[in-house]
A and B are shown apart, each in its own frame.
Chain A
């Protein structure tokens, strides 16, 4: 019964409704605009549609692959921020777990597993398991200090940031590692001529964490803890356990990112790798609508946020903006996103249909 006369106002109303009620609507719109812009800038100056599409896809695979590690870390950071905390130690944990992987796998004289006479597939599996465990333990250590020691997360993770990197640098100085080339396949394996393994890891982890945040007791209790810790506790939520598990999960995700980094590059610069990573992860979460005071956050939003920042970097690159100015754009995006999100929020999650 709708005529063309009322259709347009209906769309405007629908848009306004979505804009003010759906937390991720404006973020998604921003991302779509970015992608359209980037497509336009990339140009259509190609022989055929096929070759245009090919280069468009290649560009995207590059963007996604380059941001996979930090994207995975940003997902964990979202959980941490949702509890009302923060983790400044992710960059240093990355270096520590990366170094640990190298010590285990080095094909030179000092490789730990090599000394035990272990090589090939068993060695890779043992390495992965141990590195993930190590990351989980480092995260849990941070979590225990925060909950049992009752020290603010900012302080604990600031300390951990300094300790992890400094200790790693000390033990790894003058240590030249070479990794077995099969191990590098973890990140560099080609699937149909595309090097997309890191993207697959990111997507799978994003899906798992998304599901966790929406449907599981753990995920929803994170929101409760961040929103009102006292009320959560008085509703039977074991607040300390939730926080501990969130920081441990963060450590685990960082160690996954470390394996991806190490296997992509084959080495790691212990003094510079992961520096500033915590800020990029926080920026992605914030652009995606996660509130720094806790209680509100979106895994999907963080993926959008990460992509917005990544596409923007790509755009600045295509436009030829001087490198020193690029960070400023990131800054504007972060502040602008928060200004855009100043609006009411309806509940979301497991019990919303």
Chain B
């Protein structure tokens, strides 16, 4: 579905190669400053120029803006909700529909009924607890705010959904809801990338994980090898032990 070859943007990341199939959930993890947010913001068209190639459904694409990325079916839920996702002067339904205003608009006029209808469906599926659609976004708890942002991206009908720290500042109950929805979306053949610094979260939802260290992919883990210990070893710049590596290759083959 998505393939990335040699993507480089100094000084954040270099020579990134990976691919993801429809319905697959892959994780990206590492320590602070590993460059994974910048990497996916670049793929989403929010950062500056980069070298390398990005293929969507085997077509080479050059995404220069977030507007373009959304048109191509890419969605990115950013980290630091308050700074990067919440628009505090707008109400719940506006925050939940901003990404799809151009898609449904007729001659530039926002198609409000359509947005309400779409959001209503996601509101039930995501179990968002809220008052009126027109209440301020600040009236919601952290977990419900995050679900509204998630609903915004589901409204865009993405084929690739990138979730950067999706459970940051979210209560336990809402965390479980978010994990459930991630697994359900993968069943619906959406390719999902989860960026997280919490190893247990990655292990819980992902099929494979890429561990980054200082802007490069230090290693890839899957199945039995996805342990907190292995992830930490790679994240701190270490190499996998010989026998573990053998085991790891074996796993990849089957």
Q: Which of A's residues lie within 8 Å of B, judged by CB?
A: 215-218, 220-221, 223-224, 226-228, 230-238, 295-296, 345-353
Cα distance A349–B136 when bound, in Å? Answer: 12
- Pairs A-B, 4 closest by C-beta atoms: A347-B91, A227-B89, A295-B89, A352-B134
Cα distance A113–B5 when bound, in Å? Answer: 59
Find B110's partner among A233, A237, A345, A351 (CB 8 Å cutoff): A351
A252 to chain B, nearest CB (A): 16
Which of B20-28, B65-73, B170-178 faces chain A?
B65-73
Chain A residues within an 8 Å CB radius of B108: 216-218
Q: Looking across the interface, which residue of chain A has its beta carbon closest to that of B71?
A: A236
Cα distance A223–B137 when bound, in Å? Answer: 14
Q: Which of B84, B94, B136 counts the most A-chain CB atoms under 10 A from its CB?
A: B94
Cα distance A352–B90 when bound, in Å? Answer: 10
Find A238's partner among B67, B85, B87, B109 (CB 8 Å cutoff): B67
Chain A residues within an 8 Å CB radius of B99: 235-236
Chain A residues within an 8 Å CB radius of B110: 215-217, 220, 350-351
Find B78's partner among A220, A221, A227, A234 (CB 8 Å cutoff): A234
Q: Which of B's residues lie within 8 Å of A, judged by CB?
A: 41, 44, 46, 65-67, 69-70, 76, 78, 83-94, 97-99, 101-102, 105, 108-110, 112, 115-116, 133-137, 152, 156
Given A231-B83, A345-B89, A350-B94, answer yes or no on A236-B66 (Cβ-Cβ < 8 Å).
yes
Chain B residues within an 8 Å CB radius of A347: 89-92, 94, 134-137
- Decide: A346 and B136 in contact? CB cutoff 8 A: yes
- Decide: A227 and B88 in contact? CB cutoff 8 A: yes
A349 to chain B, nearest CB (A): 7
- Decide: A234 and B91 in contact? CB cutoff 8 A: no
Q: Which of A220, A231, A235 counts the most B-chain CB atoms under 10 A from its CB?
A: A235
Given A217-B105, A220-B101, answer yes or no on A236-B90 (Cβ-Cβ < 8 Å).
no
Cα distance A217–B101 when bound, in Å? Answer: 6
Cα distance A154–B127 when bound, in Å? Answer: 45
Given A218-B108, A296-B89, A347-B134, answer yes or no on A234-B84 (Cβ-Cβ < 8 Å).
yes
Chain B residues within an 8 Å CB radius of A349: 90-91, 94
B100 to chain A, nearest CB (A): 8
Find A346's partner among B70, B83, B88, B134 (CB 8 Å cutoff): B134
Chain B residues within an 8 Å CB radius of A215: 109-110
- Decide: A232 and B112 in contact? CB cutoff 8 A: no
Cα distance A177–B105 when bound, in Å? Answer: 47
Q: Looking across the interface, which residue of chain B has its beta carbon closest to that of A214?
A: B110
Q: Looking across the interface, which residue of chain B has its beta carbon closest to that of A238?
A: B67
Chain B residues within an 8 Å CB radius of A221: 98, 101
B38 to chain A, nearest CB (A): 13
Cα distance A42–B44 when bound, in Å? Answer: 63
- Decide: B105 and A237 in contact? CB cutoff 8 A: no
Listed by A's residue number, 22 A-B pairs whose Cβ atoms lie within 8 Å are: A217-B109, A227-B88, A228-B83, A231-B78, A231-B84, A232-B98, A234-B78, A235-B99, A235-B152, A236-B69, A236-B156, A238-B67, A347-B90, A347-B134, A347-B137, A350-B94, A350-B110, A350-B112, A351-B91, A351-B110, A352-B93, A352-B134
Chain A residues within an 8 Å CB radius of B137: 347
- Decide: B133 and A351 in contact? CB cutoff 8 A: yes
Cα distance A236–B75 when bound, in Å? Answer: 9
Cα distance A352–B131 when bound, in Å? Answer: 13
- Decide: A237 and B89 in contact? CB cutoff 8 A: no
Cα distance A226–B136 when bound, in Å? Answer: 16
